[in-house]
Amino acid sequence: MTIKTRDFGEQKISEDKIITFPHGIFAFEDEHKFIMLSPLGEDKYPAWLQSVNNENLCFIVFDPNQIAEDYSVTADEESISAAGFEKGEKPHYLVLAVVPEEYKDTTVNMKSPIMINTKKMLAVQTIAAENYPIKFPIFKKEGD
């Protein structure tokens, strides 16, 4: 199928690559279908989490383990169930970025990651039980 995207124009996508969010994303609960796009290649970050139905709705996402190697989340049972995880399956996590005009001030939300069941292509945004920041800078400032 072909979709219109905010940053990449029209894109042909395979329907089996669509990630379904049964509950949407926080503040966008009515949007349920997204696709991952990356100019760097599949499974490369940053990536764009693009709505299939709304070309203007797109999030920049990162793999949190590339930012903080020890990133680990304890998710609630409701989130685990909504994403269709079986006992012992491990989610793939993504974190949403806020990219201001000065890109070196980019932050990611480590507190509310997206957990993806890559087998079932289901995802939920959850709130980590751990004490992670909502605005975690991804670039070191001079002098840090």
| CB hemisphere CA count around 98 (13 angstroms) | 10
pLDDT band at 142 (very low <50, low <70, confident <90, very high): low
- The closest alpha carbon to 49, from 63, 33, 65, 60, belongs to 60
Q: What is the pLDDT of residues 109-140, one digit of tens each?
A: 999 999 999 999 999 999 999 999 999 999 87
pLDDT of residue 89: 86
Q: What is the CATH number for 55?
A: 2.30.290.10
Cα 4 → chain centroid: 19
142 occurs within a structural domain = no
Structural domain boundaries, residue 42: 2-137
Q: What is the pLDDT of residues 16-51, one digit of tens each?
A: 999 999 999 999 999 999 999 998 877 789 999 999
Tell me the average pLDDT of the chain: 93
122 occurs within a structural domain = yes
CA distance 64 to 82: 21
65 occurs within a structural domain = yes
> What letter represents residue 118's amino acid?
T
143 occurs within a structural domain = no
68 occurs within a structural domain = yes
Count of domains forming the chain: 1
144 occurs within a structural domain = no
115 occurs within a structural domain = yes
pLDDT of residue 116: 96
pLDDT of residue 144: 56
Cβ pair 85, 126 in contact under 8 A: no
- The closest alpha carbon to 109, from 25, 19, 7, 34, belongs to 25
Tell me how crowded residue 56 is: count the other CB atoms within 10 A of its CB: 9
The CA–CA distances, whole Å, from 80 to 25, 42, 46, 62, 75 equal 15, 25, 25, 20, 7
77 occurs within a structural domain = yes
Answer whether residue 143 shows pLDDT above 80. Answer: no
- The closest alpha carbon to 52, from 11, 92, 98, belongs to 11
